[in-house]
Amino acid sequence: MEKPYVVDEGKIDGLSFVEVAGVGNFSVFKTFDCGQCFRFDPTGPRRGGYAVSGVALGRYVSFEQTDDGTLAVWGATADDFEKIWLSYLSLDTDYDAIDEAVTTALDPDGCAVMRRAAEAGRGIRILRQDPWEALCSFIVSQNNNIPRIKKIIAALCEKYGEDTADGSAKSFPTARALAEAGEDAIFALRTGFRAKYIVDAARRVADGEIDLDAVAREEDFPTCEAELMKIKGVGPKVADCALLFGFGKTEAYPVDVWMKKVAARHFASGPDPKLFGKYAGIAQQYLFYMERYVG
């Protein structure tokens, strides 16, 4: 796999940017439209194509992709791209090899379904989000829809987040900030029954009872799941979403109503996530995207 490379760097109206070529099968649209993160929204592209802007890893940033596939990262330098956004966007991962693996892992009928799913979802990359943000965000996501999830998270960030480096937005609140806020204050932000779960998670993480760095380092996946499920309100689906999108555990295979539809409509039995191995979560995203967005 050839590494993406910066083809241009500079500033326009005081805003730093880099243009990156060689990003392969990467789609800004699909990656930020598949429900894995909640702090980005479409914005007007500066050079045509498609763009999203939002906050990640404490920074306000825009990702823009032109029709020829070139990626522009606004609010970043070439050094930022190499040290932060290359990994965040999973552009350092060979998704062509992953596609080959997940489309040949099942029986012939299953492989036919996976080929359709991989084609539908081609361009999706699993973002490497902050572990605490991913955990808290998917606690908020329970029995919720994406517009409301975004509204709740925006309220949490506005109330308890810190200013980003450029002062243009708020970072995701720390576990300590939400723990100290308490359940009543979190409930007041219209989090509903999730308030007690958010605060329980925040207190356990802030006090070190649950070490998120240790979870990220742990290689035994069931151990990772069990650790997160110590938190009130965190079951297998929330734990698996957090592990997939925030801890780099691409073997996680979250099962929700959409994935149950996939199993019922497209497979005689299964599919068995274990057959996808360490790429089960990527296979899941392709199947989810095919079912929900392509139909």
User: For the domain that residue 156 is a member of, what is the CATH number?
Assistant: 1.10.340.30
Angle of helix 257-266 versus helix 280-289 axis, rounded to 10? 80
237 included as an active-site residue: yes
Quick one: DSSP state of residue 163? B
Count: domains in the chain: 2
Q: Is residue 277 part of a domain?
A: no
Residue numbers of the domain that contains 21: 5-92
pLDDT, tens only, 192-245: 999 999 999 999 999 999 999 999 999 999 999 999 999 999 999 999 999 999
Any idea which of 5-14, 21-30, 171-180 has the lowest mean pLDDT? 5-14
Beta bridge partners of 65: 50, 71
Whether the CB-CB separation of 80 and 73 falls below 8 Å is answered with yes
For residue 87, give the CATH number of its domain. 3.30.310.260
How far apart (Å, rounded) are the C-alpha atoms in residues 22 and 10?
Answer: 19
Q: Is residue 25 part of a domain?
A: yes
Q: Is residue 99 part of a domain?
A: no
How far apart (Å, rounded) are the C-alpha atoms in residues 110 and 115?
Answer: 9
pLDDT, tens only, 107-149: 999 999 999 999 999 999 999 999 999 999 999 999 999 999 9
Whether the CB-CB separation of 89 and 127 falls below 8 Å is answered with yes
How far apart (Å, rounded) are the C-alpha atoms in residues 40 and 28?
Answer: 11
- 91 falls in which pLDDT band (50, 70, 90)? very high
How far apart (Å, rounded) are the C-alpha atoms in residues 18 and 76?
Answer: 7
How far apart (Å, rounded) are the C-alpha atoms in residues 273 and 276?
Answer: 6
Whether the CB-CB separation of 256 and 240 falls below 8 Å is answered with no
pTM of the model: 0.95
pLDDT, tens only, 242-270: 999 999 999 999 999 999 999 999 998 88
Q: Which of 237, 260, 274, 278 is catalytic?
A: 237
